[in-house]
A and B are shown apart, each in its own frame.
Chain A
Amino acid sequence: MLKLEHVSKTFNPGTQDEKLALNDLSLHVERGDFMTIIGANGAGKSTLFNAIAGSFYTDSGSIFLDGKDVTMEPEHRRARSIGRLFQDPMLGTAPGMSIEENLALSSGKGGWLSSISAKERRMFQDKLALLDMGLEDRMRQPVGLLSGGQRQALTLLMATMNPPKLLLLDEHTAALDPATAEKVLELTRNIVERNRLTCLMITHNMQSALELGNRTIMMNHGQVVFDVRDAARKGLTVQNLLDRFREASGKALDNDRMLLTEQ
């Protein structure tokens, strides 16, 4: 489904701030994989997503999506096959437009000059009802009035309206309060399962990294240092993950955020 071959990316080359963010990284994600990605800050997790989504072009290597070489495809073109959510719930929606207008734009149905039909509106309403947040009764309200959790749930719905080949979740629950985060995570699980999506999720919560999905990778210094899936992953504990990290990187995991969320 998704194949990265020897992908490298250096930021600010030739300056004091030069940083090798992706270092000859190769990764093969199979169709239907739900992969969680962990690693310390600066390990290259978000950079990996940016490379896949086309926010920048990589310095070397190739990226294949569903058999097609997308290495040089611009971001908006790749977006047809890739849905993406960020940590900041404000990023995925247009605050000045209503809920139904946001949905209509992301649904991408109809010609350029068509407007929202009654049928589409009913479809949006049904989908919104699945979120169980009462948004189906507020379709004409501007998105700017919604809470962070509601906006993130809406973004999730928008990103998966036309089931994408690949769903990228970049700590999409990290900015939400625990109860809302749990709810959005539950919605994510449902939507991914229902549409059998191939999904990559960055998380700092080690527990959910092991609970969600069927595969977990750990990144360090722009490389994949640990990759475990299915049966081999079943018995793993958070402590195992921390040990593996120490082995792989030669030092203890010193990221406060990860340690705090290991319970």
Chain B
Amino acid sequence: MDISKFLTLVQSSSEIGLLYALTVLSLFLSYSMLNVCDLSTDGCWTFGGAVGAVVAIAGHPWLSIPAAMLAGMLSGFVTAVLQTRMGVNSLLAGIVVNTALYSVNISVMGKAQLSMNKTSTVFTMMKEALQNTGIPVLYPLYNLFVGLIAVLAVILFLSLFLRTRLGLAIRATGNNPDMVRSSSINPKNTTLVGLCISNAFTALSGCLFAQYQKSLDINAGSGILTVALASLLIGGVFFGIRRRIPLRALGAVIGAVIFRLVYGIALRLQMPSHMLKAVSSAIVVLTISIPYLKKQWPMLQRRLSKGGNGHA
């Protein structure tokens, strides 16, 4: 691989990585902070893409962003109400909403695929804006710019928000809900607010990704949760839980970009593209279970050394 090809790879991985990073930041809030595994992520991502695409096709590219984020909030609201107010198990609430969103998404899109080839999107607007600057070196970076701006805005928001009283309450909800209750705060409400915000980011991610690709397929979101979780866990290797929030959020973004880069290199090395999801799943499983297995190892060794005693 020569250097210019490699640079192209780095650029496209960064572009896609940054757009995916918005979903990773969403999980940073729901999974790392609230300690909720939000299984509605896949559907919500497509929901954001669908609402954003429809609004953009209608001729309002900028409006597509708040519209998609509102749609995401709505989806998060439903997931949260199911699990905090209606006794539905947290994982099941996510799955149920995810399934329902398939129908909702088809209704929003009107068909199973949308094309935005001739639509002016956030990206085409940015392209024009950069061309107006008259600095040619910036022209091809319009995709990167959109992703960077969105990611920086979300990181800035999370860094400030998680320091507020509400943000602290959300963090404590995932850390020690009893303590939240004894601080006179209802953890059900903090879960609700947290999921609304995190799903807004997931939807934003889907919205921007659809416009980046100039198309949206009803199944585009399938497996996003696992891919994003893998990126989040990779990011945790760089900035672990002892670090401050802004650094950890940055770690999540770095994780997303690295994930795309490694995936891109693997594709060049003839890995079939359909392996993406198996690899993401493997990364998630390994990062979660290696620390666990490490802890179990001494016990396992002892058992083995007792030698074939089935009752050990």
* CB pair A115 B164 closer than 8 Å: yes
Contacting residues of chain B (171-205) with chain A, CB-CB under 8 angstroms: 171-172, 174-176, 178-187
A171 at the interface (CB under 8 A from B): no
A97 at the interface (CB under 8 A from B): yes
* CB pair B184 A80 closer than 8 Å: yes
Provided the pairs A115-B165, A142-B242 are in contact, do residues A91 and B171 lie with their beta carbons within 8 angstroms? no
Partner of A79, one of B172, B174, B181: B181
* CB pair B164 A113 closer than 8 Å: yes
Expressed in whole angstroms, the minimum distance between the Cβ of B174 and any Cβ of chain A is 8
* Across-interface contacts of B165 in A (CB, < 8 A): 104-105, 110-115
* CB pair B181 A94 closer than 8 Å: no
Contacting residues of chain A (108-143) with chain B, CB-CB under 8 angstroms: 108, 110-116, 142
Expressed in whole angstroms, the minimum distance between the Cβ of A162 and any Cβ of chain B is 9
Contacting residues of chain A (40-85) with chain B, CB-CB under 8 angstroms: 74-77, 79-80, 83-84
Contacting residues of chain B (235-253) with chain A, CB-CB under 8 angstroms: 241-242
Interface of chain B: mostly helix, strand, loop or mixed: helix
* CB pair B179 A94 closer than 8 Å: yes
Provided the pairs A80-B184, A110-B165, A114-B164 are in contact, do residues A95 and B172 lie with their beta carbons within 8 angstroms? no
* Across-interface contacts of B168 in A (CB, < 8 A): 97, 101, 104-105
* Across-interface contacts of A102 in B (CB, < 8 A): 172, 179
Expressed in whole angstroms, the minimum distance between the Cβ of B221 and any Cβ of chain A is 30
Partner of A97, one of B166, B171, B178: B171
* CB pair A92 B185 closer than 8 Å: no
* CB pair A91 B179 closer than 8 Å: yes
* Across-interface contacts of A76 in B (CB, < 8 A): 180-182, 184-187
Q: How far is the CA of A79 from the CA of B164 in the complex (A)?
A: 21
* CB pair B183 A105 closer than 8 Å: yes
CB-CB nearest in chain A for B189: A76
Expressed in whole angstroms, the minimum distance between the Cβ of A103 and any Cβ of chain B is 10
* CB pair B176 A112 closer than 8 Å: no
Contacting residues of chain B (142-175) with chain A, CB-CB under 8 angstroms: 160, 163-166, 168-169, 171-172, 174-175
Expressed in whole angstroms, the minimum distance between the Cβ of A10 and any Cβ of chain B is 23
Partner of A93, one of B174, B176, B186: B176
CB-CB nearest in chain B for A115: B163
* CB pair A97 B169 closer than 8 Å: no
Chain B residues bordering chain A, tally (CB within 8 A): 24
* Across-interface contacts of A93 in B (CB, < 8 A): 176, 179
CB-CB nearest in chain A for B242: A142
A87 at the interface (CB under 8 A from B): no
* Across-interface contacts of B174 in A (CB, < 8 A): 96
Provided the pairs A97-B168, A112-B165 are in contact, do residues A79 and B183 lie with their beta carbons within 8 angstroms? yes
* Across-interface contacts of B178 in A (CB, < 8 A): 91-92
A106 at the interface (CB under 8 A from B): yes
Expressed in whole angstroms, the minimum distance between the Cβ of A93 and any Cβ of chain B is 6
CB-CB nearest in chain A for B181: A76
* Across-interface contacts of A114 in B (CB, < 8 A): 164-165
Q: How far is the CA of A79 from the CA of B172 in the complex (A)?
A: 16
* CB pair B184 A94 closer than 8 Å: no
Provided the pairs A112-B166, A113-B164 are in contact, do residues A105 and B172 lie with their beta carbons within 8 angstroms? yes
11 contacts between A and B (CB under 8 A): A74-B186, A77-B184, A94-B171, A95-B175, A97-B168, A101-B168, A102-B172, A105-B185, A108-B184, A113-B164, A113-B165
Interface residues of A (CB under 8 A from B): 74-77, 79-80, 83-84, 91-97, 101-102, 104-106, 108, 110-116, 142, 158-159
Further 17 A-B residue pairs, CB within 8 A, beyond A79-B183, A96-B174:
A75-B181, A76-B182, A76-B185, A91-B176, A91-B178, A93-B176, A94-B171, A94-B175, A101-B168, A101-B171, A105-B179, A105-B183, A106-B182, A112-B166, A113-B166, A115-B163, A116-B163
- Give 8 closest A-B pairs by Cβ, nearest first: A94-B175, A112-B166, A94-B172, A79-B184, A115-B163, A80-B184, A76-B181, A94-B176
